[in-house]
């Protein structure tokens, strides 16, 4: 039996969704808490002194007044776009053609894919991100590279080969058959191995023919425990393009639904400009919607209706959407989500922002029984936040009269300097 480790500090966990439950019932905050971990799992969460007395043999890591919470879960990213993050001034289609597709062409070379996978995981670990759902490229090598790197780190990661058989450069296009065959081979190789999960991944309807979408729908039907990730209703000109390409579809969502690509384990990134039928159908199915605020503002896509969709009862996660998103930081992503919600006249409470970046995203990925919270039995993926990481933040935090007032400046102004420690699978990294 491994010697347990006891982390001491402030602790934050969730008993309920703070969008639907009063904070006093939804949130558990302990100013002098403790988290006991062993064998990669959280064993106990509670009062720090009590846990220390009960486990005198435990190795103690005392973080003082720093905040221990679940590691951040980024529900929609493109790790192959790491090198082109913050590329200047394009709408979605131009951005793909000018920056994304040329960079993704390079991932057919395994050494380059390995290098970028390591770089991406290094960068995100610095920002306290412990799990992400990533699009890879159309090259199976890009999937192998990310899963190999994540497996070596003991990290829980979702990923899949991006499938495109039209409206993309020749070096990135596959076919309906090769998309099916290569995705199935990757599922057989990686899905459910250690902490790895496969996501069947059509990029979006405009880059897949009906034949490819149908093939991927059949693949999902044969592997229903996989996730399926794609894009939905990101920009208005994209929606018009979809309507031209699929003239018989009722709406954008129908281009997935008619081919078996609408399901509870589906992840639909962006979902900004949804029609009433789409909203109702997504809610009925219980699908996951992923809010990508830094990307939506950086590329000029629009403002996600967090308040309305959450009130309707949707399953919603939060994501950086790197590299369309302009930061690897989930703190910056939370700050952007707050700003977008302000523009829609529904400001988000710090508890809601933290829930979205941890439990909410884990729930969208159907992993909230494993990650995204500080509870006994959960996997020990943790982040420790320094709530006074810079002079600017410290001078504001020193004036705080409540815990939330002390946390909010770190959400709005924090970066990797606020990440005092990241723990993955019970190990500080």
- 3-state SS record for 312-368: HCCEEEECCCCCCCCCCCHHHHHHHHHHHHHHCCCCCCHHHHHHHHHHHHHHHCCCC
What is the Cα–Cα distance from 244 to 303, expressed in whole angstroms? 24
Does 288 share its domain with 402?
no
Quick: pLDDT tens for 115-137.
Answer: 999 999 999 999 999 999 999 99
Range of the domain at 394: 5-71+373-428
Nearest to 96 by CA among 132, 135, 122: 135
Does 65 share its domain with 177?
no
Domain count, the chain: 2
238 SS3 class: helix
**Total count of residues recorded for the chain:** 429
Does 131 share its domain with 81?
yes
Please name every residue paired with 323 in a beta bridge, in sequence order, or none if there are none: none
Quick: pLDDT tens for 266-275.
Answer: 999 999 999 9
- 353 pLDDT above the threshold of 70: yes
Q: CATH no. for residue 230?
A: 3.20.20.140
Does 296 share its domain with 322?
yes
Nearest to 35 by CA among 419, 387, 382, 404: 382
What is the Cα–Cα distance from 404 to 410, expressed in whole angstroms? 10
Does 359 share its domain with 383?
no
- Residue 14 makes CB contacts below 8 A (sequence gap 6+) with 26, 27, 28, 355, 358, 359, 373
What is the Cα–Cα distance from 413 to 117, expressed in whole angstroms? 27
Does 84 share its domain with 52?
no
Does 219 share its domain with 337?
yes
State the average pLDDT over residues 246-252: 98
**If pLDDT is split at 50, 70 and 90, which confidence band does 1 have?**
low
Does 66 share its domain with 76?
no
- 60 pLDDT above the threshold of 80: yes
Name the more confident of 290 and 89.
290
Q: Please answer whether residues 107 and 82 qualify as being in contact, where contact means their C-beta atoms are separated by less than 8 angstroms.
A: no
H helices, E strands: number in the chain: 18, 16
What is the Cα–Cα distance from 221 to 366, expressed in whole angstroms? 17
State the average pLDDT over residues 230-240: 97
Q: Please answer whether residues 363 and 372 qualify as being in contact, where contact means their C-beta atoms are separated by less than 8 angstroms.
A: yes
Does 313 share its domain with 401?
no
State the average pLDDT over residues 239-258: 98
Q: Quick one: pLDDT at residue 99?
A: 87
Does 227 share its domain with 324?
yes
Does 349 share its domain with 377?
no
pTM of this structure = 0.97
State the average pLDDT over residues 392-398: 97
Measured distance between the N- and C-terminal CA atoms of the chain, rounded to whole angstroms: 21
Does 348 share its domain with 377?
no
State the average pLDDT over residues 364-370: 98
Nearest to 410 by CA among 40, 45, 67: 67
Q: What is the DSSP letter of 1?
A: -
What's the Rg (C-alpha) of the chain?
A: 21
Q: CATH no. for residue 61?
A: 2.30.40.10
Report the range of poorest mean pLDDT among 81-90, 118-127, 206-215, 362-371. Answer: 81-90
Q: Please answer whether residues 6 and 34 qualify as being in contact, where contact means their C-beta atoms are separated by less than 8 angstroms.
A: yes
Nearest to 240 by CA among 352, 360, 93: 93
- The alpha carbon of residue 426 and the mean position of all alpha carbons in its chain are separated, in whole angstroms, by 20
Last residue of a domain, one of 364, 388, 417: 364
Q: Does residue 217 come out as left (phi exceeding 0), alpha (psi in the -120 to 50 range) or beta?
A: alpha
Last residue of a domain, one of 335, 364, 393: 364
Q: What is the mean pLDDT of the chain?
A: 97
Q: Quick one: pLDDT at residue 86?
A: 85
- 311 pLDDT above the threshold of 80: yes
């Amino acid at each position: 039996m491994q010697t347990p480790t006891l982390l001491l500090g402030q602790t934050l966990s969730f008993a309920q969704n703070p969008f639907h439950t009063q904070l006093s019932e939804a949130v558990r905050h302990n100013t002098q808490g403790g988290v006991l971990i062993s064998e990669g799992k959280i064993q106990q969460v509670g009062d720090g002194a009590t846990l220390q007395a009960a486990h005198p043999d435990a190795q103690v890591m005392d973080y003082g007044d720093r905040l221990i919470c679940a590691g951040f879960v980024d529900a929609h990213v493109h790790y192959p776009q790491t090198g082109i993050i913050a590329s200047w001034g394009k709408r979605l289609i131009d951005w793909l053609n000018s920056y994304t597709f040329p960079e993704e062409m390079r991932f057919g070379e395994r050494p380059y894919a390995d290098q970028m996978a390591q770089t991406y995981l290094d960068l995100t670990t610095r920002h306290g991100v412990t799990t992400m759902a990533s699009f890879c490229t159309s090259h199976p090598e890009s999937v192998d590279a990310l899963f190999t790197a994540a497996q070596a780190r003991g990290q829980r990661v979702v990923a899949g080969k991006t499938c495109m058989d039209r409206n993309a450069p020749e070096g990135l296009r596959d076919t309906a058959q090769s998309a099916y065959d290569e995705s199935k081979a990757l599922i057989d190789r990686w899905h459910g191995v250690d902490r790895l999960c496969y996501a069947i991944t059509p990029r979006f309807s405009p880059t897949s023919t009906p034949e490819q979408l149908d093939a991927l729908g059949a693949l999902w039907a044969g592997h229903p425990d996989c996730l399926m990730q794609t894009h939905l209703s990101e920009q208005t000109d994209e929606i018009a393009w979809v309507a031209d390409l699929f003239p018989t579809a009722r709406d954008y969502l129908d281009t997935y639904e008619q081919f078996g690509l609408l399901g509870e384990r589906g992840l639909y990134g962006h979902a900004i400009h949804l029609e009433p039928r789409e909203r109702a159908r997504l809610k009925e199915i219980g699908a996951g919607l992923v809010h990508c605020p830094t990307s939506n503002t950086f590329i000029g896509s629009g403002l996600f209706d967090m308040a309305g969709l959450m009130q309707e009862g949707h399953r919603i996660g939060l994501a950086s959407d790197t590299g369309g998103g302009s930061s690897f930081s989930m703190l910056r992503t939370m700050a952007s989500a707050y700003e977008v919600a302000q523009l829609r006249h529904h400001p988000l409470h710090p508890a809601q922002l933290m829930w979205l970046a941890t439990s909410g995203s884990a729930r969208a990925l159907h992993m909230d029984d494993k990650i995204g919270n500080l509870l006994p039995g959960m996997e020990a993926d943790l982040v420790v936040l320094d709530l006074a990481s810079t002079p600017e933040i410290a001078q504001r935090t020193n004036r705080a009269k409540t815990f939330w007032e002390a946390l909010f400046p770190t959400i709005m102004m924090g970066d990797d300097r606020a990440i005092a420690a990241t723990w993955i699978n019970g190990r500080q990294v």
